[in-house]
Amino acid sequence: MTAPLLRVEGLRRHYASGGGLFGRARYVTRAVDDVSFDVMPGETLGLVGESGSGKSTTGRLVMGLEEPDAGRVVFDGTDLTSLSSSQRKPFRRRMQIVFQDPYAALNPRMRVGDFVQEPLLVHGAEAGPDRVAALFRTVGLDPAFMQRYPHEFSGGQRQRIGIARAIALRPQFLVADEPITALDVSIQAQIVNLFQDLQESMGLALLFIAHDLSMVRYLCSRVAVMLRGRIVEMGPTEAVFGDARHPYTQALLSAVPIPDPAHERGRKRLAFDAGGYAFPPAAALRDLGGGHFVLMGEAA
Amino acid sequence: MALLAIEDLSVGFAREGRFARVIPGLTYGVEAGETLGIVGESGSGKSVHALALLGLLPQPPGRILGGRAVFDGHDLLAMSEARLRDLRGGRIGMIFQDPMTALNPVLTIGRQIAEPLMRHKAMSMRQALDRAADLLALVGIRDGARRLSQYPHEFSGGMRQRVMIAIAISCEPALLIADEPTTALDVTVQGQILDLMAELRDRLRMTMVWITHDMGVVAGIADTIQVMYAGRIMERGPVDAVFANPRSAYTYGLLQSLPHGSRPPGGRLMQIPGCPPDMFAPPPGDPFAPRNPFATPRCHVEAPPLRPVPDSVPGHMVAAWYDLPRLLA
Amino acid sequence: MREVWRALTRRSGWLGLLGATLLVVLVLLAIFGPWLDLPDPTRTNLRARMVAPTLSWFSLGAHPLGTDQLGRDILSRIIAGSRVTLMVAGAAVLLGGVLGTLLGLISGYFGGWVDRILMRLVDIQLALPLMLLALMVVAALGPSLRNLVGVLALVSWVRYARIVRGQVLAVREREFVQSARAIGASHPRIILRHILPNVLTPALVVATLELARVIVLEAGLSFLGLGIQPPDPSWGRMLADGRTYISSAWWIITFPGLALMLTVLAVNLLGDWLRDFFDPRLAVR
Amino acid sequence: MGRFLLSRLVDGIVAIWGVVTIVFVVSRLLGDPAILLLPVGATEEQLQQLRAGLGLDQPIWEQYLTFLGGVVRGDFGNSFQFMRPALSVVLERMPATMALAESALLVGVVLGAVAGSMAALFRGTIVEGVVMLLALLGQATPVFWLGLLLILLFAVDLGLLPTGGYEGPASLILPALTLGTFTTASIARLLRSGMLDVMKDDHVRTARAKGLLPGTVFLWHVARNSLIPVVTMVGILAGELLGGSVVTETVFSWPGVGRLIVQAMEAKDFPVVQAGVMVIATIFVVINLFVDLLYGLLDPRIRARR
């Protein structure tokens, strides 16, 4: 068995809100609470959950865009959380991120060619126009677009530009934070196929954060389901989708609309109150065999 | 008889001195008791035409260029604003996409539900608030009497959408237009809202127009599906027939580009190439032709009319010069 | 550039165009004033005291806008006054703008205690009506031109700092800045390449609005005798001097005030248009 | 809510403390008050004596603490001109300043609100054009010039109203109009643009989709929501108003705090300057405290956050 490329252990991030000049914080949001998972080289792990479940924060913590309150992010054997930002820089070549909103993800005052070139310059890599043009072609864009500004592009094209920037340094690992959510339906498949092509040609490992369960089922070999900052179920995609054990996963799967009228007419949705659900005491991920984990209390 | 019959509705938009006919001429009807699901991407004109019907389209930049929309025997577009106002919120209810912004943040929920009742049912504030509490119970919000005095920010997104539904159905409308009411919601909440809407529709015997971009949602709630692209109807018909046997390359592409189950090794999604047209410079002919691998030369020059599909169920119509089943075979 | 032109010539843009034109004319007059064939603005002529305006432009030696109580030509004094006013206000706005933008950038980007201290300083300064602050400082340091510029800059940095900080806070969370952090770009690079270009336009908008405020403030100080000192002509001072003669010579206070109002109007028009063009959200300040 | 009030109060006190410090620093920059106080040709001994009497021979931080202590007790020292406590000199002039500022604010809020609403309601018509033109001119006209013009027109030419002074309500009209013009113009413009923005909001579309009458939509869904930025603006405008009062009072020979400060500055009577500035800064801070409270009343989201 090979070693995981990325190992996340006990990651925690709490946000304090409220409070003032002297008061201590009034509310604590457990954005990410004791999250652990591995990503193997070349593998795609799906991270699903609803808005506010902590999935995007997890991605940001993995990338070091936010500091965790506790826990470790180990990349290829090195604990990144203990590194200074200059020690961390070499790892930035090897792991990158693609964002959700293709409108906010590009600097509106920078030519897209410069934007794609920037990581090459920052890391002192070969950054000539040919290299940038090659990147444009890799993501299916005409290199003639390099001189243009972001507002001249459609959503799908912008997302391609964001991807070109992310893969410029040939990373081994990519966080894709809801990369298709903001796109039109007819464009989503283009981007998913692009991810697939890149994965095959570059051997990329992918942390695919999404709330579209059908897409996750299609794209990911393993999936982790998050609820209010915690992973409640994780395992090989078919195990989780075919034999969901956690009530939240079951409710989620029962609610996914399927484009098939006959199926939809017979559907029974399971009720689940995500906000009111109480985690059982001493809950921990327990192995059901075959790498399928479910968050359960001790009694179970 | 059709409760709502739209004939040749045409809507334009002006921006920075340029003009676009975002809806070149739309004709369709909704039968009483029917649920029509309108599917389309951004820019397909699905939301714009609904706003235009009710006189809610901001003009300018929008402009209604012509057509009729007969509701219950009267043309909404020819009606005075005062008469249209009597219908809005009364016999025609509407629900919008984003429950976070669709409610007034500085007024209590109770007042916002009570307003249409006072307006259309001549209730006093007191009566209206009593009724509002019942309506909250109807849309599944417990402890309604207490929650009436709360403000929108004290409600979650799903709860706010329930409040919007309570407002829309408060006067028991004959027609309910729902513009992407579940798009901004999480999957499980979307499921709850879909169930609630189906139940209310049956209980109040409402006719419904449900606008969405999600094929899965339409499959669940609609009797008839109408697929729109670039302001035109590409295909329309009973959901079972259209999903089982799509005749428009666009409908087919949309359905095929969605993932089904897990990926077979080496498998790829079928993708629709290109991107939606710029409505300020639309392609001549069939607007989908430039992205359509099945397009015939005629598609590029002449827009096809919406015609019945000969060998399908009644009501199944498609706008295409090509014969998709034959091309696929 | 073409976009700017199109926006300027649009229906709502003509006011901005008007402002820009007025301002350009004013600046040209201020620069080329000395080359115009006009009477010396500081030369007194007691035989021609309080001559009423004549509009015979081309007759040599005439006073189109009249003369003041010392017989000085009002038109040439207004033009000479515009030089001083524009120089003082321009320098102050530039100085205040650079300082405020810099501090706003630092405050917004790094946050923490630097931010807290700076913003507290802003609050304190905002708790003091500007006019009073300027009055006090000028009274303390003496009304030299350099002090005046310094005081006006001190008064205006606050608004830049506030707006720029707010913008930085918004831009900092945008995904392209996150992306720059993700590729390991240095702080200076992120600030200079990604943040500064995206906050410059709001800062420019503030600069025009500040220019108008500072011009009025300077005129007010001069009016109270604490601004530009004689013999340098200044609009505020001309108004103050003309007060005494208000019942006998209306033109002494009318024309300098008109010049002041037109200048402020021009700058405001341009500023409003810039704001609407670049960022309508800045409207609520 | 209580905690919020407390924290705003602390903010206000910190701001006033900052003003005190600025005033202290500036007054020490003013030069040696002893030289200013004594007639020319005073002996070094006399100077030393006066310095000791004023506490100017103490180390600077001790002077600062003494000054702070004085401020807390309301003791700014005696006015050099009037030879009695500076604070009481200032407070005597307060009613005049308050009368002026209050009337100007009233003029500004009422006229501004009416004009702004009209402009928004009749957008695209001549009404909006006229209101906006007047508002632009109003914002561009410096108070001292406007004051002079009004005097020229109503006092000198028409002889309807007094040119200045403080005799009866008639003498308040011109100064209040002068001072209130900028406020009127600013509120009119802000309210108009605020209303036009709110009119585009989704919730107004919801209100219209309910079939509500235009009056109901405007009053409850547009005007109600547009008030919030206006209230913030009033806090800022209060500062402009207090600063503007310095000039307005000078133009109209209005016996208020502003004119007193200017006169005291000319006479280097800095205890009065200090007391005057402190009083005005305090008023400003108190106004903004009220604005913050009002803000919470208008916007339940903010109420909840407190």
Per residue, the 3-state secondary structure of A17-29, as one string, reads: ECCCCCCCCCEEE
Interface contacts (A, B; CB < 8 Å): 120
| Mean local confidence (pLDDT), C83-107 | 90
Burial of C236 from C-beta contacts in 10 A (0-12 / 13-18 / 19+): buried
Distance from CA of D114 to the nearest CA of B (A): 22
Burial of D4 from C-beta contacts in 10 A (0-12 / 13-18 / 19+): middle
- Partners of chain A (3+ Cβ pairs below 8 A): B, C, D
pLDDT confidence of C244, banded at 50, 70, 90? confident
Structure tokens of A293? 């984990």
For the ranges B98-112, B228-242, C4-18, C208-222, the lowest mean pLDDT is seen at C4-18
Higher pLDDT, D42 or D114: D114
CATH of the domain at A121: 3.40.50.300
Domains located in chain B, CATH noted: 2-222 (3.40.50.300), 229-258+269-328 (no CATH)
| Run of H or E residues at B62 | strand B62-71
Q: Do the bridges between strand A78-79 and strand A95-98 make them parallel or antiparallel, or are there none, so unpaired?
A: unpaired
Distance from CA of D52 to the nearest CA of C (A): 22
Contacts of B101 in chain D (CB under 8 A): 201-203
What per-residue confidence (pLDDT) applies to C59?
54
What per-residue confidence (pLDDT) applies to A222?
94
Torsion of Cα atoms, D214 then D225 then D244 then D115, to 10°: 0
Interface contacts (B, C; CB < 8 Å): 4
> Does C56 contact chain A (CB < 8 Å)?
no
Contacts of B198 (CB under 8 A, 6+ apart): B220, B221
Residue C36 placed within a domain: no
Contacts of C50 (CB under 8 A, 6+ apart): C66, C67, C68, C69, C71, C245, C248, C249, C252
How is D14-50 classified by DSSP, letter by letter?
HHHHHHHHHHHHHHHHT--HHHHHSPTT--HHHHHHH
Higher pLDDT, C16 or D29: C16
**Pairwise CA distance, residues D147 & D304, whole Å:** 45
B15, β-bridge pairs? B18
**Pairwise CA distance, residues D208 & D216, whole Å:** 10
> Does C187 contact chain A (CB < 8 Å)?
no
CA closest to B196 among chain A residues = A269
What per-residue confidence (pLDDT) applies to B227?
94
Residue C222 placed within a domain: yes
Question: What's D92-113 look like in SS3?
Answer: HHHHHHHHHHHHHHHHHHHHHH
Structure tokens of A284? 């921990």
Average pLDDT over chain A, rounded to an integer:
87
| Run of H or E residues at D183 | helix D170-199
pLDDT confidence of A38, banded at 50, 70, 90? very high
For the ranges B48-52, B215-219, D3-7, D110-114, the lowest mean pLDDT is seen at D3-7
> Does D219 contact chain B (CB < 8 Å)?
no
Structure tokens of C135? 């009055």
- Partners of chain C (3+ Cβ pairs below 8 A): A, B, D
**Pairwise CA distance, residues B236 & C159, whole Å:** 58
| Mean local confidence (pLDDT), A148-164 | 90
| Nearest neighbour of A123 by CB, restricted to C180, C184, C189 | C184
Residue B250 one-letter amino acid: Y
Q: Answer yes or no: are the C-beta atoms of B16 and B188 closer than 8 Å.
A: no
User: Is D27 in Cβ contact with C126 (below 8 Å)?
Assistant: no
| Mean local confidence (pLDDT), A58-67 | 92
Distance from CA of D222 to the nearest CA of B (A): 10
CA C238 to chain centre: 19
> Does C201 contact chain A (CB < 8 Å)?
no
Residues 86-125 of B with CB under 8 A from D: 86-90, 93-94, 96, 98, 101-107, 115-116, 119-120
Question: pLDDT at residue C270 above 90?
Answer: no
Cis bond upstream, residue B61 (ω within 30): yes
- Number of C-alpha atoms within 13 angstroms, CB side, residue C181? 19
| Mean local confidence (pLDDT), C2-11 | 53
Beta strands across the sheet bearing B35-39: B92-95, B175-179, B207-212, B35-39, B224-229, B232-238, B317-318, B307-308
3-state secondary structure of A105: coil
Structure tokens of D118? 């009209």
Residue C226 placed within a domain: yes
CATH of the domain at C171: 1.10.3720.10
ipTM topping 0.85: no
pLDDT confidence of C283, banded at 50, 70, 90? very low
- Counting residues of chain D whose pLDDT is more than 90, the rounded percentage is 5
Residue C44 placed within a domain: no
Tally of domains in chain C: 1
Which of A256, A213, A241 minimizes the C-alpha distance to B216?
Answer: A256
At B269-301, the pLDDT tens digits run 888 888 888 888 888 888 998 988 888 888 899
Rg (CA), chain D: 24
The residue segments making up the domain with residue C264 are 15-29+63-278
Residue A1 placed within a domain: no
Q: Answer yes or no: are the C-beta atoms of B84 and B55 closer than 8 Å.
A: yes
Contacts of A60 (CB under 8 A, 6+ apart): A66, A177, C178
Structure tokens of C211? 């220019």
Q: Do the bridges between strand A70-75 and strand A6-17 make them parallel or antiparallel, or are there none, so unpaired?
A: antiparallel
What per-residue confidence (pLDDT) applies to C285?
33
**Pairwise CA distance, residues B163 & B96, whole Å:** 11
User: Is D16 in Cβ contact with C129 (below 8 Å)?
Assistant: no
The residue segments making up the domain with residue A47 are 6-296
Torsion of Cα atoms, D293 then D299 then D301 then D304, to 10°: 40
What per-residue confidence (pLDDT) applies to A96?
93
Distances (CA, A) of A212 to A28, A180, A222, B80, B188: 28, 9, 15, 44, 12
Question: pLDDT at residue C8 above 60?
Answer: no
The CATH superfamily holding the domain D91-267 is MetI-like (1.10.3720.10)
CA closest to B60 among chain D residues = D124
Q: Answer yes or no: are the C-beta atoms of A287 and A293 closer than 8 Å.
A: yes
Contacts of A273 (CB under 8 A, 6+ apart): none
Q: Answer yes or no: are the C-beta atoms of C210 and C160 closer than 8 Å.
A: yes
Average pLDDT over chain B, rounded to an integer:
88
User: What are the respective helix, strand and coil percentages of chain C, to the nearest 5?
Assistant: 75, 0, 25
DSSP B97: S
Tally of domains in chain A: 1
Contacts of C140 (CB under 8 A, 6+ apart): D26, D27, D29, D30
Q: Answer yes or no: are the C-beta atoms of B47 and B179 closer than 8 Å.
A: yes
